[in-house]
Amino acid sequence: GPLEEVSIPFYFGWFLLSSVQDKVRCTSMDFLKTLDTLEAFKKHMIDFTGKAEKEVDLEQYFEAKGTLHCTTKFCDYGKAEGAKEYALKPTVKDFYGSTFELSLSALFVTPRTVGARVSLTEEQLLLWPDDAEKEAASVVPAAASLPLGSRAHVTLGCAEGVEPVQTGLDLLEILALQQEGQQGELVEEMELGSLTYYGEGRWLLSLREPICAPACFSSFYT
Ligand code: 2AM
């Protein structure tokens, strides 16, 4: 009935506890600040500016997007495909309100978004929708053949006019290149980890030590 409809949230996800939100934001800012100063980045700056010789301040370039979280299912209050089925899943009900430890294993930057890759455990994958990667196949064709959970991420910022849904697509694009055997260009060993360039403004920093982020599985209504 109509009551059930209203109870479906905008989205479900893991919400990082406030103690770790600051840590993740700081790490991301440090990374952007450092990336901005690298000669290798300057060489490819045109990916971000569209013009040669123009400088970019990455810390200003991206806008933060509210509470840090890793979306599991975007429901759009029941309008998204599979939203109701997801909301009614026993695992979703059972784990609702539970705290998990997410492992943030990489940071990535593109001219559109900056995000953190989340490497999900077997248990966390129980909350991951079966079609999350396939759903992206119209934009990133190779996504359908990537392992379940590949799209899991935390959006850290978006360029002006870019919607956060783009962050997961940018991550899938990088993972698809890796799967096709493109090694990317290992640019530098940074303190935080190794930095690889995948062309077209796509940068990936594999963290030497993944960030352990406690997060509560819950939902968001505007
Ligand atoms: P995000 O997971 O990359 O941050 C509200 O817009 C939240 O739902 C955001 O966190 C956003 O992106 C996510 N979102 C929006 N549209 C989506 C979609 N079509 N598929 C998956 N996630 C979506």
Q: What is the pTM of this model?
A: 0.96
Closest protein CA for atom 16 of ligand 1: 165
Question: Ligand 1: residues whose CB is within 6 Å?
Answer: 11, 71, 74, 155, 164-165, 167-168
CA dihedral 145→176→178→166, nearest 10 degrees, is -140
Give residue-wise pLDDT tens across range 108-156: 999 999 999 999 999 999 999 999 999 999 999 999 999 999 999 999 9
Give burial (CB, 10 Å; 0-12/13-18/19+) of 202. Answer: buried
What beta strand segments (E) does the chain contain? 11-16, 62-63, 69-74, 99-109, 113-119, 153-159, 185-189, 193-197, 203-220
Atom of ligand 1 nearest to the CA of 136: 20
Where residue 51 falls among pLDDT bands split at 50, 70, 90?
confident
Q: What is the mean pLDDT of the chain?
A: 95
Query: Residue 8 C-alpha to ligand 1 middle, in angstroms?
Result: 15
Query: Residue 71 C-alpha to ligand 1 middle, in angstroms?
Result: 6
pLDDT at 6: 54
Residues in contact with 26: Cβ distance below 8 Å, sequence separation at least 6, in sequence order: none
Query: Residue 188 C-alpha to ligand 1 middle, in angstroms?
Result: 31
Query: Residue 72 C-alpha to ligand 1 middle, in angstroms?
Result: 9
Closest protein CA for atom 17 of ligand 1: 165
CA proximity to 184, closest of 194, 175, 196, 172 = 196
Closest protein CA for atom 13 of ligand 1: 165
Closest protein CA for atom 8 of ligand 1: 74
Give residue-wise pLDDT tens across range 8-41: 999 999 999 999 999 999 999 999 999 999 999 9
Where residue 54 falls among pLDDT bands split at 50, 70, 90?
confident
69 catalytic, yes or no?
A: yes
